[in-house]
Amino acid sequence: MSEDAPGAVRRDRFSGGPARGFLSSLASDARIFEADLAVDRAHVVMLAEQGIVEDAVAGEILGALAAVAEAGHSSLSDGEDVHEAIETAVIAEIGAAGGKMHTARSRNDEVATCLRYRLRGDLLDAAETTLRLREVLAETAAEHTETVMPGYTHLQPAQPTTVAHYLLSYESAVARDTGRLLDAYSRVNESPLGAAAFAGTPFDVDRERTAELLGFDGLVENSMDAASARDFLLEATGALATHAVTLSGLAEDLVVFANKGYVDLADDYSSTSSIMPQKKNPDTLELVRSVAGDAVGGLSALLTTLKGLPRAYNRDLQNAHPHAFDAVDAVVEATEVTAGAVATATWETQALRDAAAEGFATATGVADLLAMAGLPFRTAHEIVAEAAAESAGTPDLATLDAVTEAVVGDSLFDHVSRDAVERALDPVESVASRDSVGGPAPAAVSAALDTVRGGVAEDAETVERRRTALADARARLDREVARYD
Ligand code: ARG
């Protein structure tokens, strides 16, 4: 129907001029079409239960909403937004009585409710993809507890570690990302409905009831806060951007490792050059790396849009939430791709092992050994540093002994056995010796793996429980709506 049909919302008071399209969010509101229908249904059921709207009228409105649901978002006529367009469609279907749907509410509490309704599902999707990535990191780590690799600081070889220890470092970070997404969910899942424009309503609305019908855990109570708050978008987008930054570090490492021949990315996660026939490029992970730019940009746009907005509602808010939804889409996709890339990559065990011995990466272990024998660590550090300066690569025992003589006046072997020094110089032994909690020794990593698996299972349960609660609420709302058939 056209905007000037009888009964259209707000008739032609503002028919819109050149700015009509500029004002409209109808296209991007496709994201909250389903949410708006649910919010409309819950509101109408509550209005009927409270005796604010007659049951028969409620039944007609709910029937019209079913027709709108059936026809889909694309069937809506032009309008400022999905809320107005759905109301217009209801009025077109059943006449002026359809105008009772908007009793005791405003688009301000309506849109805030729709955003929260939709975003909570998106957050669960995002959390779930982080779980998949954590599983892949843990599974791959389990295969590589003994795969020694160089560890870096400043991108310089630092100390040998293992592929498992490296991968679990990312699992730990992604686990915190999951936690932040699930934390954000708790504050997203509160209902602003019933706040009306911001100032409440004289109608005897039951806010707890609409919250329950929509599966919210509680209310955003203060009506002015309820209509204007968008910090839930900030929190969710902040969690997504943080996770995207985690992914970008992992992606960057894998690009570097592929370059060094430490890891071979599956063809599915690589690309070729249109001119250089020999090339196999890590394009997919480069794009993952770039998604942090999108998410951080979205967060920054959101913060900037919200900064300094006066109470209570301002139309700027219409431009705020797309940044959050764009971040959801980009980050969820990047997480899935990263999980796929890690799951299909081949770690080049021999190349990693060889590289772990390069650059005297076991130097710290030799110093530790001397310190464990009783030398002050600073003196031990000096001996090993001097030996490193005198040798091209890893110093031999004779050099270490000579330097010890020069620094402390007796033989290296007065302090430690030949065998112990040889072991300290060996990357595999070096890793095995660092068995402190959270360290890279295979025993320590195996213990960490148990904790990791427990953590993933626990978070998976939380996601599942929340999904079930949302599905139960949808079924409950359907049942209540059916009573008006
Ligand atoms: N589409 C609008 C939004 O997303 C709905 C609220 C309009 N409210 C108003 N007072 N003009 O924010």
pLDDT, tens digit, 9 for 90 and up, residues 198-252: 999 999 999 999 999 999 999 999 999 999 999 999 999 999 999 999 999 999 9
Q: Is residue 12, in this structure, part of any structural domain at all?
A: no
Q: Could you tell me if 410 and 382 are in contact, meaning their C-beta atoms sit under 8 angstroms apart?
A: no
pLDDT value at residue 276: 82
What is the residue with the minimal CA distance to atom 7 of ligand 1? Answer: 107
pLDDT value at residue 251: 98
3-state secondary structure of 459: helix
pLDDT value at residue 1: 38
Helix axes 163-188, 442-482, angle to 10 degrees: 30
Q: Spell 165-188 as b/e; 16+ CB within 10 A means b.
A: bbbbbbbbbbbebbbbbbebbeeb
pLDDT at position 41 over 60: yes
Q: Do 128 and 58 fall into the same domain? A: no
Give the residues surrounding ligand 1 with Cβ less than 6 Å away. 25, 81, 107-108, 111, 313, 315, 317-318
Q: Is residue 25, in this structure, part of any structural domain at all?
A: yes
Q: Do 208 and 130 fall into the same domain? A: yes
Q: Do 238 and 133 fall into the same domain? A: yes
Which of 410, 433, 456 represents a domain boundary (last residue)?
Answer: 433
CA distance 133 to 175: 10
Q: Do 197 and 309 fall into the same domain? A: yes
Distance 106 CA to ligand 1 centre (A): 9
Which of 328, 349, 370 represents a domain boundary (last residue)?
Answer: 349
Atom of ligand 1 nearest to the CA of 115: 4
Give the domain CATH number at 119. Answer: 1.20.200.10
Q: Do 239 and 266 fall into the same domain? A: yes
Distance of CA 388 to the CA centre of its chain: 44
Which of 319, 349, 379 represents a domain boundary (last residue)?
Answer: 349
Q: Is residue 439, in this structure, part of any structural domain at all?
A: no
Q: Is residue 66, in this structure, part of any structural domain at all?
A: yes
User: Using CB atoms within 10 A of its CB, is residue 6 exposed (0-12), middle (13-18) or buried (19+)?
Assistant: exposed
CA distance 273 to 267: 13
Q: Is residue 343, in this structure, part of any structural domain at all?
A: yes
Q: Do 64 and 185 fall into the same domain? A: no
Q: Do 428 and 311 fall into the same domain? A: no
Q: Do 323 and 362 fall into the same domain? A: no
Residue from 22, 36, 76, 81 to probe ligand 1 pocket by mutation (most atoms less than 8 Å from CB): 81
The model's pTM is 0.94
Give the domain CATH number at 380. Answer: 1.10.40.30
Distance of CA 49 to the CA centre of its chain: 39
Closest CA to 230 of 299, 146, 297, 158: 299
Q: What is the DSSP letter of 396?
A: P
Q: Do 88 and 177 fall into the same domain? A: no
Distance 317 CA to ligand 1 centre (A): 7
> Average pLDDT over the chain, rounded to whole?
94
Catalytic residues: 154, 273
Per-residue pLDDT tens for 253-304?
999 999 999 999 999 998 888 888 888 899 999 999 999 999 999 999 999 9
Please give the C-alpha separations between residue 351 and each of 145, 153, 231, 474, in angstroms, as whole numbers: 16, 19, 48, 54
What is the number of structural domains in the chain? 3
What is the residue with the minimal CA distance to atom 5 of ligand 1? Answer: 107
Q: Do 86 and 113 fall into the same domain? A: no
Q: Do 47 and 137 fall into the same domain? A: no
Q: Which domain holds residue 28?
A: 19-103
Q: Do 257 and 402 fall into the same domain? A: no
